[in-house]
Structure 1
Amino acid sequence: MTVFSRIPTALKLLAGALALTLHPLTQAAEAPPAELHLDYAYYSPVSLVLKHFGWLEKALPETKVTWVFSQGSNRSLEYLNSGGADFGSSASLSAVLARANGSPIKSVYVYSRAEWTALVVRKDSTLQTVADLKGKKIAATKGTDPYLFTLRALQQARLSKDDVELLHLQHPDGRIALEKGDVDAWAGLDPHMAASEIQAGSRLLYRNKDFNSYGVVSVTERYAKEHPQAIKTVIGAYEKAREWALKNPEEFAQLLATESGLPLDVAKLQLSRTDLSSPQLTDKDVAASKAAAPILVSEELVRKGTHVDEVIDQLIDPAFGKAVIGKP
């Protein structure tokens, strides 16, 4: 047998060796997770759409999808920390606060950009400005956007949290406390805020859209490393829900009303303050978070020596959204 006649055999052996070398790479493709836990919240109406239609369950037929209810950003972030949720919906500044205090999370998607919080007083209140709140009782849920909104509003009025009495109540309880007269003001959150306006005549004492941080879906760093494809699948499902909401505003409002148990006019008021047009994280979001970050330092909400700008750079990860949505 000549050397030329042995070439096909040599090529076969080489091909076999290459196949063995490449085999582990094909095996490394991410399998769908056996279970996936997400939160849903009335302050994140798109999550209600996603849960209602079951689009994520259809996208991951071999995965057991479980939903947990979040009353506020603090609960959502607690679920992420404890493993009770793989995806959590919170205000972006609340996510910054959590990351700065040691929670290894990454924000991967914007579920809404809403003016969802303001300082609320009763309809018969004599208070007219934030400065009038000095020495007063304010209900606020610590670790949430309404709480941070309150601190920023006080700071702008040259007050600090020590100039008022903050009562740390969950959002629905804060509404009740305000309407009963147990507190002078409440750091409201939609839809509870919209409901109090319509049903009890409550008045928005102070509004500032720039002091409202956008809503983000976050995951842990470990989950981001182990399940990148699952994250993209979830974002894709969120996008389907967002697009449905934009195309069906009346049905969207009715769904929010039904899920929250609130009247339709309350749901419509909430949605009138909700912007669903920009789901992608951008450099502008990084800049906005950094502009809001000083309140975390000045009010000693983060550990001394924490470089909050670095925390924000580590937190906000637009890559997953870009892979699904494309460029903003």
Structure 2
Amino acid sequence: MLKRKTSFIYLLCLLLLLLGTQGCSAAKQGQPEEKKPQALTQLNASYSTRPINVPAIVALDQHNFEKGFQGEGIAFKWTEIAAGPAQLEALASKSIDISTSMNYVSALLAKANGNDIKVVAGYSQFPKGIAIVAQTELNVKTLADLKGKKIALQKGTMLHEFLIKALEKENLSPGDVEMVAMESVDAAPALMGGQIDAAILPEPLLMKVVSSGKGTLVLNAEGLITGQTFIVARADFALEHPEAVKSFIQLHEESIHWAEQNKEQFYSVAGEQLKLEPKAVEALYPKFIFSTEINSEMIHELKLSAQFLQENGFIKPTVNTDQLVEDLVDMSFL
């Protein structure tokens, strides 16, 4: 009797064990499998050689990105895209994965408008390389002399913020001038041709216009904006391929280092690409700081800029600007 009872208990336990295993198996089958990111085979990035983007100029000459990623089994392709809005459009359409030299205002506005991007590294700072230039024949001495005049600029960029802050400093408002939306590369000849009264230009366009005698420097951006640009990636790309982003930043730093160690050669290479004399490149070089660093001061400045843009109607009042910056910047790749 005892033996029969023991056998019954054994069979019952075995049955419960089998049912439990099937239940766990069914539960696992009901759960969606974690989707693993596919191995990266192609990385597309944008560049601009202007104003004087040292890392881009070196990268195009040395082909270090193509060589570096080839060693990782990844095909690499550069696409030239200069303007912030065009860079953002390319990121949104996924035609590029990483954008270099994106100005901070474009990045802030894009994030505020739902473009899921991440600032992953610094690129450059050049407030001394941005200025308001007026037609020489207008004899402009201060920004107040441009009241009611046509000023060309790339709207929705740091050039736009610079103009608004410069106007405020002179107790003027944006409505006191006529802002004309124009790419910098088009604004320079438009100014020299007399089609506009003034323009906000970065180097080397600034130097070309002033040296032509047809433009007079009115005010540069130092002390008004940081002139900061960043390396920006699609958020989904950065999440799925963090090592590729880190490799990109490392190759970028190698480009900066090469230029610092080979200045004379760099001046020659940059002069050829930008159609400038090497001596002109050498004169402009100190106006630019190239670094991947992102520090607490930069974060603070970004938050101040976001608040400024919100106060001037560029960012919706409902947006938490501090949180916007926190969500935008990701320093884990540095």
TM-score (normalizing by structure 2): 0.82
1:220 corresponds, among 234, 247, 250, to 234
1:102 aligns with 2:111: no
Q: Kindly state the Cα deviation for residue 201 of structure 1 after the two structures are TM-superposed.
A: 5.4
Amino acid at match of 1:257: G
TM-score (normalizing by structure 1): 0.83
Q: Kindly state the Cα deviation for residue 195 of structure 1 after the two structures are TM-superposed.
A: 2.1
- Structure label with greater radius of gyration: 2
| Partner in structure 2 of residue 92 of structure 1 | 104
1:246 aligns with 2:260: yes
In structure 1, C-alpha distance between the alignment counterparts of 2:199 and 2:254, rounded to whole Å: 35
1:52 aligns with 2:66: no
Amino acid at match of 1:104: D
| Partner in structure 2 of residue 154 of structure 1 | 167
Structure 1 runs of 4+ aligned residues shifted over 4 Å read: none
Q: Kindly state the Cα deviation for residue 100 of structure 1 after the two structures are TM-superposed.
A: 1.4
CA displacement, residues 169-224 of structure 1 (integer Å, 9 cap, x when unaligned) = 11111111111111111010222222222344532211132313311010111111
In structure 2, C-alpha distance between the alignment counterparts of 1:204 and 1:250, rounded to whole Å: 28
User: Does the CA-based 8 Å contact 2:103-2:157 persist in structure 1?
Assistant: yes
Q: Structure 2 regions of 5+ residues with no counterpart?
A: 1-35
1:76 aligns with 2:87: yes
| Partner in structure 2 of residue 10 of structure 1 | none
1:35 corresponds, among 33, 42, 66, to 42
User: Does the CA-based 8 Å contact 1:130-1:205 persist in structure 2?
Assistant: yes
In structure 1, C-alpha distance between the alignment counterparts of 2:79 and 2:37, rounded to whole Å: 29
Change in CA separation of 1:254 and 1:202 when aligned onto 2, cut-off 3 Å: farther
Q: Kindly state the Cα deviation for residue 29 of structure 1 after the two structures are TM-superposed.
A: 9.2
Root-mean-square deviation (CA, aligned residues, Å) is 2.0
| Partner in structure 1 of residue 19 of structure 2 | none
CA displacement, residues 269-325 of structure 1 (integer Å, 9 cap, x when unaligned) = 43221112x42111111011122223311221122322222111111111211xxxx
In structure 1, C-alpha distance between the alignment counterparts of 2:196 and 2:300, rounded to whole Å: 35
1:188 aligns with 2:201: yes
User: Does the CA-based 8 Å contact 2:55-2:252 persist in structure 1?
Assistant: yes
In structure 2, C-alpha distance between the alignment counterparts of 1:266 and 1:113, rounded to whole Å: 19
2:292 corresponds, among 274, 279, 285, to 279
Q: Kindly state the Cα deviation for residue 40 of structure 1 after the two structures are TM-superposed.
A: 1.4
| Partner in structure 2 of residue 20 of structure 1 | none
Q: Structure 1 regions of 5+ residues with no counterpart?
A: 1-27, 322-328
Change in CA separation of 1:91 and 1:58 when aligned onto 2, cut-off 3 Å: same
